Amino acid sequence: MEEVASEIRKFIETAFAGVRLDGGVSLKQAIAIDNYMEGVTEEEFAEYPNTELIDDWIRIPYDHLEPDPCISHFDAKGFRYYIPRLMLSVLDKYDPGSMRVIGTIQALYPKKEYWEYHMKRYSELNDDQKYAIAKYVEVLPSFINLDYDDRTCMQRALVKYWSQYIN
């Protein structure tokens, strides 16, 4: 199983190598949006990315992803930048009660009622990135002891969307 995890890690790292935030919504901005911009001026909001790591996603410390990275507020560029780090964080530290884990797994499952929202967020992903995510979704339940809801979510995500990028 360690070999599978290593292979998936390599797929992700290779597919997302060199990806930058490129003007997308940053972690601090997503958190501010989640808090309805309370106590944050437009100028502060605009400056947040300048105080964050926005050019090397693999170096983002895990503690920056906790307690809640507010994944649902990322735009397509923010999603493309942060999702590889978030996926690797689930591989390294799975905690079914963590908002980091819950948000990551839900972000990879485009439910019918939110289909357009997810497709818009996936719009910046290239084919290699979609393949890496698809392989991750496919194998994650086989080597991480996911709880029932997370396992079901990954299985449905694979069947309903990501399998098209593997075949």
- What residues does each domain of the chain span? 2-165
Can you give the pLDDT at residue 1? Answer: 62
Instruction: Place 105 in a pLDDT band, splitting at 50, 70 and 90.
Output: very high
Q: How confident is the model at residue 5 (pLDDT cuts 50, 70, 90)?
A: confident
By C-alpha distance, which of 52, 38, 43, 42 is closest to 82?
52
Q: Is the pLDDT of residue 3 over 90?
A: no
Chain centroid offset of residue 33 CA: 17
pTM (predicted TM-score): 0.96
Percent of the chain clearing pLDDT 90 (strictly above): 95
| pLDDT score recorded for residue 155 | 97
pLDDT category at 2 given cuts 50, 70, 90 is confident
CB neighbour list of residue 149: distance below 8 Å, 6 or more residues apart: 96
CA atoms within 13 A on the CB side of 17: 7
DSSP code, position 55: S
Q: What is the pLDDT of residue 90?
A: 97
CA distance 153 to 22: 30
